[in-house]
Amino acid sequence: MYSAIFSANGWRDNADSFPLSRIFEYTDEAIVARFQPGAANTTNFAELIKLPTLFLSEQSRGVLPTAYVGYITQARIVGTNVNLEYHYDQLLPAVAGELLTNSGLQIGLTVFTRTHWAVHDFDLFRFLARHQRPSRRLPTAFAVSAPERIDRTLCAAMMPFAPQFGPVYAKLQEIATSIGMECLRADDIWNADAVIQDVVGLIDRASVVICDCTGRNPNVFYEIGLAHAFGREVILITQNADDIPFDLRHIRYLTYLPNAQGIQELGEALRPRLAALRGNP
């Protein structure tokens, strides 16, 4: 059974365009002949888009980011490029990058260095069934989804609910929106009777959690611990470096001044980091 792998240097709202010559890069010649019996303009896109596809961003410093399973819904040639539209299967969990490099899948890490669309002789769903992480052990203090339902467009902001953090939160929302994400705080949500359940639910669904350590708020530190335990990407920010406790000092963090210029500079520093985690250029 064949499965496709689409590696890109950035995601563009479920669409992408790349050179026609990069179809079937790193693909066995026999497979190429199966889907492209002649020149490039004879590619059998109708059959190709039926294949389950693993979507990856390109590797960064030798590490593959999280991958997603889905389908290419449309492919068409425009000049010397191929325009793709695709969607992710929301019922399937994300695939950790390290799983692809440590599970015996015979696809080298070096192939994920530029945008390309490849086809390989492997059963993607069997691969996931054999190697995907087992169902998570559920906590008893609160509820989490099982299996995980991570929304890669959702960013969670963890900070004190004091009014002085309002401009910071507004800037986080602005930056998130500019790269196709949504940034929420727990006080934006009322899905449960207990506030902690809404906090945990937000962290559990988010792909990125931004935590403001200013003032050493104990609730924020508890939320940092949850985010790390859930395996989420965590970005630490603070107005004072001394508010980063010893056990978190090994993690990079962003400092900012609590004024208009400082918050603006925080947004400028945060945007490329958040965009990289989102998968945008």
> What CATH number has the domain bearing residue 264?
3.40.50.450
Over range 237-250, report the average pLDDT. Answer: 95
Q: Which residue has the tokens 């068409």?
A: 76
The residue count of the chain comes to 281
Residue 221 in domain: yes
Edge-to-edge strand ranges of the sheet holding 81-88: 15-19, 81-88, 68-78, 53-57, 3-8, 116-120
- Choose between 67 and 269: higher pLDDT: 269
* Residue 64 pLDDT class (50, 70, 90 cuts): low
Domain with 241, as residue range(s), is 151-278
> Of 102, 131, 160, which closes a domain?
131
On whether both 166 and 214 belong to a single domain, the answer is yes
pLDDT tens profile 18-40: 898 899 988 899 999 999 887 76
Joined tokens for residue 258: 């609590």
Question: Is residue 145 one of the residues assigned to a domain?
Answer: no
Domain count, the chain: 2
pLDDT tens profile 1-10? 677 777 766 5
| Co-location of 195 and 91 in the same domain | no
Tell whether 157 and 256 lie within a shared domain: yes
Q: What's the confidence (pLDDT) of residue 162?
A: 92
> In whole numbers, what is the pLDDT of the chain averaged over residues?
85
163 lies in the same domain as 107: no
Query: Do 180 and 245 reside in the same domain of the chain?
Result: yes
Grade residue 192 by pLDDT with cuts at 50, 70 and 90. confident
